[in-house]
Structure 1
Amino acid sequence: MSTDIEQEKRALRAELRERRQLLSDAQRAAAASGIHDQLDALVDAHSAASISCFLSATTEPGTRAFVTAAVQRGIRVLLPVTRADGLLDWAVADEEGDVAEGLFGLPEPTGEVLGPIAVNDVDLMIIPAAAVDLTGMRLGWGRGYFDKTIGSMEKCPPVYAVIYDSEVLDSLPREVHDQPVTGVVTPTRTLTLSPARH
């Protein structure tokens, strides 16, 4: 494992995290509204009856209104629950949307927890990212949860990462374990980047 690549990723994550923290409340609200519209259209385009998504933290593009609305539309939404062993459990989102602080201080659902293989049944995965490049390579936040999940799935559905417009980059450093995504959803557009992945 190249330490140069690790250092490059670390520096890039720090820069992206700082950029996200500088956004105003108004910018965040506008982004969340755009994300909601884009994700609704993506779900419809895939005729998805069951999806996985995530509960956005303060600095992430907002997904919570979308999750609530999807549940109200009758879509089954699985939300990730982090485990100490590096795997993800899943919980079914409900209309109450009760949230607790997870392992890394991130928001997680409080409902009944299902095991890691529960996600194998979804039609579409919507995951967090720090950035994605034009080949579909995703830079996560360094813990590897989603790379492990996607890499272990027998039949992986389309995977879209939710990021801000400025986080679609020309290229990203990559390591062997890094998993590409099908595309990205930003507040203004949805891009399919590596359709051949599935």
Structure 2
Amino acid sequence: MDTDGVDATADGSTKADLRTAILRSRRAVPADRRRVEAAALARFLRDTTTAGDVACAYVPVGSEPGSVDMLDGLLRAGTRVLLPVAREHDGVPQPLGWGEYRPGGLVEARFGLLEPPPPTLDAGAIGSATVIVVPALAVDRAGIRLGRGAGYYDRSLPLADPAARLIAVVRDEELVDALPGEPHDVAMTHALTPGHGVVRLQPA
């Protein structure tokens, strides 16, 4: 399956090639279509949790699919929502910290991100989550996720509860047949797309 003209399975395709093409495609999506897709993502995500669950999620920014409505929907369902706080040590990305999501309480952070203000929970807080909503540029049917390459989630996801659902959020055409993977990749268990809802993946 291709990604708006990018063959994700073609020999010689690099992660950098795929990132460039997907980001270009996302930037070309009209604003009204973004809004429709964001509303669908919020609706589908809300139905993945029940009262008392803990979800680690994130705030979509720029051309990322979704909106803050995804987080508000989880809160209305009675789910506790934790958001990532990016941290580095001597310029090296560290496992993400986590902060409580409260509507209207986000602050601007590095990389154009929005984060919860202090206090920040340590990286182990991800282990309390039953659902972990993960940003992605693409994900394949075996659960291999293409991220932006910074490595924050690669360092954080091994700390998750093995029973947690790991849900990559992508547009419909970004759920592909195969992506290049690496030994350290943590496989997603599900994809969330605006047209298909929550799709179970088949990690090896």
TM range (shorter): 0.7 to 0.9
Q: 2:44: which partner in 1?
A: 38
Please say if 1:182 is aligned against 2:186: no
Does residue 114 of structure 1 match 2:114?
no
Instruction: Return the offset for 1:37.
Output: 1.1
> In the alignment, is residue 100 of structure 1 matched against residue 107 of structure 2?
yes
Of 145, 155, 163, which residue of structure 2 is paired with 1:148?
Answer: 155
Q: CA deviation at 1:122?
A: 1.0
- Residues 68, 8 of structure 1: alpha-carbon distance in 2 compared, 3 angstrom cutoff: same
Deviates more, 1:177-186 or 1:107-116: 107-116
Counting matched residue pairs gives: 189
TM-score (norm 1): 0.87
Q: Which of the pair is proportionally richer in helix? A: 1
Letter in 2 for 1:92: E
Matched, 1:80 2:58: no
Q: Match for 1:65 among 49, 69, 72?
A: 69
TM-score by structure 2 length? 0.85
1:23 equivalent in structure 2: 29
* 1:188 alignment partner, SS class: coil
Displacement after TM superposition at 1:73 (Å): 3.5
In the alignment, which residue of structure 1 is the partner of 2:17?
Answer: 11
Q: CA deviation at 1:58?
A: 2.3
**Structure 2 residue ranges without an equivalent (≥5):** 1-10
Unaligned stretches of 5+ residues in structure 1: none
Offset at residue 173 of structure 1 (A):
0.7
Do residues 90 (structure 1) and 90 (structure 2) align? no
Q: In 1, are the aligned partners of 2:171 and 2:193 still within 8 Å (CA)?
A: yes
User: How far apart are residue 72 of structure 1 and its match?
Assistant: 3.5
For residue 112 of structure 2, give the secondary structure of its aligned residue in structure 1: coil
Runs of 4 or more consecutive aligned structure 1 residues displaced over 3 Å after TM superposition: 152-156
Secondary structure of 2:188's aligned partner: coil
Aligned pair partner of 1:137 in 122, 144, 150? 144
What is the Cα deviation at residue 156 of structure 1?
A: 5.0
Give how far 1:150 is off: 1.2
Per-residue CA distance 1:119-157 (angstroms, 9 max, x = gap): 111111111001001111111110111121112336351
